A = this chain, B = another copy of it.
Amino acid sequence: MEASNKTARQLYQEVKANPTRKRFGFGRTPALINIDLQKAYTCVGEFVTAYQTDPKQLDYVNQLAAAFRAKGLPVVWTYVAYMDSGEDAGVWGTRTNTPDSLQNIKVGSRRAEFDDKLDIDRKRDVIVNKRMASAFHETNLGSVFNHHGVDTVVVTGGSTSGCVRATVVDSLSRCYRTIVAEECVADKHESPHFANLYDMALKYADVLPVAEVIAFMEQYRPAN
């Protein structure tokens, strides 16, 4: 194992400055997945579980969502929320039991609500109550994406080291070209944030500036 005294931030910045991997690239039909942009994780000051990385994150996500909608492409918003019993959080909900514990984000609670700054089309967009880290795990995204012929997934949301990473691994494992819009993913601590951007960039995804994703979407013409 190669040793290193660099921080995760330094290592990610080196990879970003000198990419050694060819891109996966965009395919014919992209979809957008926005992960867990709910108050428990976005309302800094109100919930101790919340965090912010780029202060413009939600603006960028709104821009991306509008761009995908304008081209008739799927826009997915996931959130986590659980039964009163918390049994649908399974083992994951067994290590702590405080108001801030994962399994205590209850269906219908304020912690489960999407951030008020988000522009969500509740009729048109695909809204998914997921329970586990990956947006694909035991949800209907697989069949919805098959129905639309999706071959490319753009990911935003949080946390970078949790649900974003898990979704990206599943996305590539299902053979979608996978793209992370860098300014649109966030985490509580910088080391896991950058460590996971590093892993994703090297193994599973193209980590791109959001401006580049938006530029692609603007010139995108739907496949026929």
Contact = CB atoms under 8 A, between A and B. Distances in A.
Interface of A: 1-8, 11, 21-24, 28, 51-53, 83-85, 87-88, 90-92, 94-96, 123-124, 126, 131-134, 137-144, 146-149, 151, 161-162, 165-166, 169-170, 172-178, 186-193, 195-196, 198-199, 203-204
Q: How many protomers of this protein does the assembly include? A: 4
A95 B21 CA distance: 7
Nearest to A131: B140
Contact of A123 (B23, B84, B148): B84
30 contacts: A1-B51, A1-B189, A4-B7, A7-B7, A7-B8, A8-B195, A22-B96, A24-B94, A24-B95, A84-B123, A87-B126, A90-B146, A91-B178, A92-B173, A92-B204, A133-B172, A133-B203, A134-B169, A137-B170, A142-B174, A146-B146, A146-B176, A149-B149, A149-B151, A165-B169, A166-B173, A191-B195, A192-B198, A192-B199, A195-B199
Contact of A192 (B21, B124, B195): B195
A166 B14 CA distance: 24
Contacts of A195: 8, 191-192, 195-196, 198-199
A203 B195 CA distance: 15
B138 A1 contact: no
A21 B96 contact: yes
